[in-house]
Amino acid sequence: MTGTYDELPGFEHVLLEDSYVLDIEARPGALALRLDLLLLPGHPEHRPPRPGERACFRNATLVFRDVRDLHWTGQGTPPSRDADGTPDHGCVDALTRTGADAYRLEGDWGGITVASAPPALLIHPGPGQPTGRGVSAREDGGRTARSAAAGGVIPRPVTSGPHG
């Protein structure tokens, strides 16, 4: 059983390739990528871009739970820095299902192969929403602040709403 991320439940109407990776945390039993996630029309959280925005972005975390095996290659290159000094990890270039409980992620930060429960995409409500990320910090000389969930804690899945 193989396939692309848009075939996974909860990943409909998102575009990982144009979403910004804010941080990556791997620890025993879990993998989390904090994202500035691009939502497409048709997603329940989508709204039209505001003036100056190029698309609808929301703070989110891509979570892999019950991780049994994880291999991260190509991680020796440090992230670039935006004009404001914020680390720039690039985008998720690919997320594919390679087997029943196996996934492959690729990006500027390397490649990660993980055996785990199916990934979950958690969209964060709160003060930073919507992010107002009409242009990246790269494109606007660093004036765009990245708003990410604080603390580096892998969030628990929400049990209500469109993704829980």
Quick check: 115 and 67 in contact, CB under 8 A? yes
Q: Across the chain, what does the average pLDDT equal?
A: 78
pLDDT in tens, 71-126: 999 987 788 887 878 788 899 999 999 999 999 999 999 999 999 999 999 999 84
